[in-house]
């Protein structure tokens, strides 16, 4: 049957949708530029509450498998595709992308002019939108803006979960983490304990971590302003790595500021430069907010990474404490593995801290 995407701007785009889809689904409409990696995108908690438009014209040709999950279920509010492959051309595929979305209860509209839709988003910015079967009855303004919704509570773990065994114990504060982050650290002989984002200092200290990882996640980082003093104290106590939302939270905790991009960076081909070495590498990214460089207090952070396209801050290194932050995803799922060495830099901080304890 006919389905529609009605934007906050009033524009309407038509496609087709499963007949038994609920009448209205609201979300922030964003676009992802990667040619592949749709399963990782669909299960990434950072996309929770968003309607994701895939810019590549054909999505789903290698199907859906049991391996490439970033969380236990698909996370977006909805999906928008130009053409969905009716078959899955891979021997490990268990179902098509449409079957996977339908099974998960995620509405999918196909046959949409995604080129025109993305041009509108680029011009007007990320905005609220409704997937509907009755656009004339739909008012996007009647929904609570996505920036005001506390989405992290819907994706964080409720109790600590430990994975792997190894020489270093890393506690991951979960704002909506990707499973591939944990897998990357476990492969590097780490034990990782995933904990709720609002864990108390005592509960965390009782876990006796060697280091902390502040994870990615959905929403506006300033919604966590009340917890920033706690995060700062923890990062000053333990070697810490912040990724995506975790990067933004570290900047805020130490006195910096963040702002929302007109349309975010979402794709597997974002060029980033290391300001220390001038080396440029490609990264996987998914974020709406960025750290404002001119807001960083003197004597706290140095900007280590910058986005080649727009000059935005892509990573920080603290001048006094063992803290590294990156806006991109070093676990590279989906995307290139150029920046995986960030985990090695983090582990060097842990080893250094261990040596200091040994000889103290």
Residues 79 and 42 sit within 8 Å (Cβ to Cβ): yes
217 marked as part of a ligand binding site: yes
Is 248 annotated among the ligand-binding residues? yes
**CB contact set of 309 (below 8 Å; sequence gap of 6+):** 270, 271
124's enclosing H/E stretch is: helix 114-124
Residue 347, annotated ligand binder?
A: no
245 is in an annotated binding site: yes
Q: Which of 247, 329, 333, 349 is catalytic?
A: 329
Give the Å distances, CA to CA, from 110 to 29, 49, 95, 113, 207. Answer: 15, 19, 17, 9, 47
Identified catalytic residue from 8, 48, 244, 333: 244
Cβ(324)–Cβ(317) under 8 Å?
Answer: yes
**CA–CA distance, 175 with 150 (Å, rounded to integer):** 11
Q: At 184, phi and psi to the nearest 5?
A: -65, -40
DSSP letters spanning 244-290: THHHHHHHHHTT--EEEEEEEEEEEEEEEEETTT--EEEEEEEEEEE
* Residue 22 labelled as part of a binding site: no
- Annotated active-site residue in 28, 40, 314, 331: 331
Is the sign of the CA dihedral 173, 178, 183, 184 positive or negative?
Answer: negative
Residue with tokens 């990474």: 305
**Is 329 annotated as catalytic?**
yes
Active site residue 331: yes
| Residue 321 appears among annotated catalytic residues | no
Q: CA–CA distance from 233 to each of 228, 287, 292, 323, 351 (Å)? A: 9, 25, 22, 12, 21
- Binding site, by residue number, is 46, 217, 219, 245, 248, 286, 289
- Binding site for L-glutamine, by residue number, is 46, 217, 219, 245, 248, 286, 289
Catalogue the active-site residues. 244, 329, 331
């Amino acid at each position: 049957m006919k389905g529609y995407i009605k934007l906050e701007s009033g524009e309407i785009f038509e496609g087709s949708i499963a007949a038994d889809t609920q009448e209205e689904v609201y979300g922030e409409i964003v676009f992802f530029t990667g040619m592949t990696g749709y399963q990782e995108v669909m299960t990434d908690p950072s996309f929770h509450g968003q309607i994701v438009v895939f810019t590549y014209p054909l999505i789903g040709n290698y199907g859906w498998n049991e391996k490439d999950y970033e969380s236990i279920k698909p996370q977006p509010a909805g999906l928008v595709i130009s053409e969905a492959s009716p078959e899955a051309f891979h021997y490990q595929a268990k179902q098509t992308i449409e079957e996977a979305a339908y099974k998960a209860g995620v509405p999918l509209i196909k046959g949409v002019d995604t080129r025109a839709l993305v041009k509108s988003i680029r011009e007007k910015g990320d905005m609220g939108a409704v997937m509907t079967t009755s656009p004339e009855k739909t008012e996007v303004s009647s929904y609570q803006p996505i920036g005001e919704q506390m989405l992290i509570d819907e994706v964080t773990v409720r109790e600590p979960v430990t994975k792997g065994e190894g020489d270093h114990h890393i506690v991951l504060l979960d704002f909506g983490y990707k499973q591939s982050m944990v897998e990357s650290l476990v492969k590097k002989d780490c034990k990782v304990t995933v904990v709720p984002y609002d864990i108390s200092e005592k509960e965390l200290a009782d876990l006796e971590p060697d280091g902390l990882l502040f994870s990615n996640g959905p929403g506006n980082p300033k919604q966590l302003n009340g917890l920033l003093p706690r995060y700062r104290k923890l990062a000053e106590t333990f070697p810490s790595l912040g990724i995506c939302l975790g990067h933004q939270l570290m900047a805020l905790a130490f006195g910096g500021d963040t702002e929302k991009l007109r349309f975010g960076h979402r794709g597997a081909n974002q060029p980033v430069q290391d300001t220390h070495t001038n080396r440029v590498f490609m990264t996987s990214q998914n974020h709406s907010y960025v750290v404002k460089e001119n807001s960083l207090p003197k004597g706290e952070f140095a900007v280590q990474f910058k986005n080649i396209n727009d000059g935005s801050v892509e990573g920080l290194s603290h001048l006094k404490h063992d803290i590294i932050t990156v806006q991109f995803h070093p676990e590279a799922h989906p995307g290139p593995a150029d920046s995986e060495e960030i985990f090695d830099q983090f582990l060097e901080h842990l080893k250094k801290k261990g040596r200091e304890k040994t000889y103290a």
